[in-house]
Amino acid sequence: MNDCYKRNNNNYDWLLFYELDEFIHLSNFTSIQDYLNERRFDKCKIIYLNLLVHNDNNQLFYKNLSLFERFPNIVPKKIESRLQVKMIIKGGIKDLIIKTTAQCYLSNNKYNLTTCNGFGNLINLRGFYAKITDYNLYYIDHFFCKSTEEFINKLKKGDSLQTGKALQNYKIERIKRYFKYNVFTDEKIKMIVEALKISLSNFKTLKRNNK
């Protein structure tokens, strides 16, 4: 991300670092260009948009339909005590260091960048999570889970930052998060533990917590 920003920030007004399972929802705009050209963002260096997480809709297997058709159900916001955001970064910022897709700062280690929400209102936000959230018009649809089968295939791909025991622990935590968002069933957990060769004992409290 830092390499991309350094090479391209003088050629573009804004840069976005989103994932393939995330889709920007701009409600009353037909293009992201029109949205970002709004005068409301003239003073903003970082625009934060909240993630709206879609659950698995109790789908076990892949279907050849659009994600919005397959997974219309949204994870209740009360389930997330901290609500994640992603950022859109203005080009031309000198000495910018990007830490994650939701965190950046200047090389002097100061977060002295003007940040705003999707409405252009100035906010004081410096990381992954927001206490005040906006889901009315501008947000990101995040299809974290998809079907159980697709979630399994996602975990099988591993993670570029994790290996060995750390990767196994990473997978276990992701599975726990999956059942935080979705209804627990014996069929789902059986599919997951058998496909990933993970002990069921790691998830003995899931059924009770997911009621």
Rounded CA-CA distance 17/88 in Å is: 7
Q: What average pLDDT score do residues 104-133 get?
A: 76
Residues 76 and 167 in one domain: no
Last residue of a domain, one of 142, 171, 188: 142
pLDDT at 148: 97
Q: What is the chain's mean pLDDT, rounded?
A: 87
Last residue of a domain, one of 93, 122, 142: 142
pLDDT at 131: 61
Picking from 10, 98, 87, 95, the residue whose alpha carbon sits closest to that of residue 46 is 87
Residues 21 and 41 in one domain: yes
171: containing domain: 148-209
Residues 35 and 130 in one domain: yes
CB 74 within 8 A of CB 55: yes
The vertex-199 CA angle with 196 and 203, nearest 5°, equals 100
Q: Is 87 helix (H, G, I), strand (E, B) or coil?
A: strand
pLDDT at 82: 56
Last residue of a domain, one of 142, 174, 192: 142
Rounded CA-CA distance 95/103 in Å is: 14
Amino acid identity at 186:
D
* pTM (two decimals): 0.85
Residues 32 and 113 in one domain: yes
